[in-house]
């Protein structure tokens, strides 16, 4: 990628990101791995009856994957537990933000997740004879990060 003149900017680092729920009400901290941040579209095909093989394609419904977060258990695990406890007693939809940072820890971009709910939480088993780090996994179900709701024309 060529950089011209004043366009020098630091690129987003895949190892620097943070997850926040409800605009900071629950700062879930940094994670070592995030997967599932993607969107796919159903494609609608239209074929006119007066043409042999001509067709039109239109974007259809969007589908979002479950976001899976992984990291070593740490003090931020207590924030996750607090959020999960509150959600278990007072279920509601949350907003979520996943921020990606550059090498200077400046935010490069972010994804606002709509109607976030925890789908699964787990921690690796404990074993006295092992010296492994305890890994925590959190899965988030959401309605998406694009502004793809139907707009009135």
CATH number, domain containing residue 124: 2.30.110
Residue 146 in domain: no
Number of domains forming the structure of the chain: 1
Do the domain assignments include residue 6? Answer: no
2 lies in a domain?
A: no
In a domain, 133, yes or no: yes
Give domain status of residue 5, yes or no: no
Q: Is the pLDDT of residue 3 over 90?
A: no
Arithmetic mean of pLDDT over the chain:
87
Query: What is the dihedral angle through the alpha carbons of 103, 10, 109, 21, rounded to the nearest 10 degrees?
Result: 10
pLDDT at 153: 42
Q: Is the pLDDT of residue 9 over 80?
A: no
Q: What is the mean pLDDT of residues 58-77?
A: 94
Query: Distance between CA atoms of 77 and 147, rounded to whole angstroms?
Result: 31
Q: Does 90 reside within a domain?
A: yes
């Amino acid at each position: 990628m060529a950089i011209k003149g004043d366009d020098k900017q630091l690129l987003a680092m895949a190892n620097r990101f943070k997850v926040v729920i409800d605009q900071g009400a629950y700062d879930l901290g940094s994670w070592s791995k995030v997967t599932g941040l993607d969107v796919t579209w159903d494609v609608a095909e239209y074929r006119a009856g007066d043409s042999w093989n001509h067709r039109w394609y239109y974007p259809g419904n969007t589908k979002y994957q479950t976001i899976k977060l992984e990291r070593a258990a740490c003090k931020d695990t207590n924030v996750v537990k607090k959020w999960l406890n509150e959600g278990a007693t007072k279920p509601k939809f949350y907003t979520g933000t996943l921020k990606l940072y550059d090498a200077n820890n400046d935010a490069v971009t972010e994804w606002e997740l709509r109607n976030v709910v925890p789908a699964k939480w787990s921690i690796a088993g404990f074993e006295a004879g092992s010296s492994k780090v305890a890994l925590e996994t959190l899965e988030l179900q959401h309605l998406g990060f694009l502004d793809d709701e139907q707009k009135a024309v």
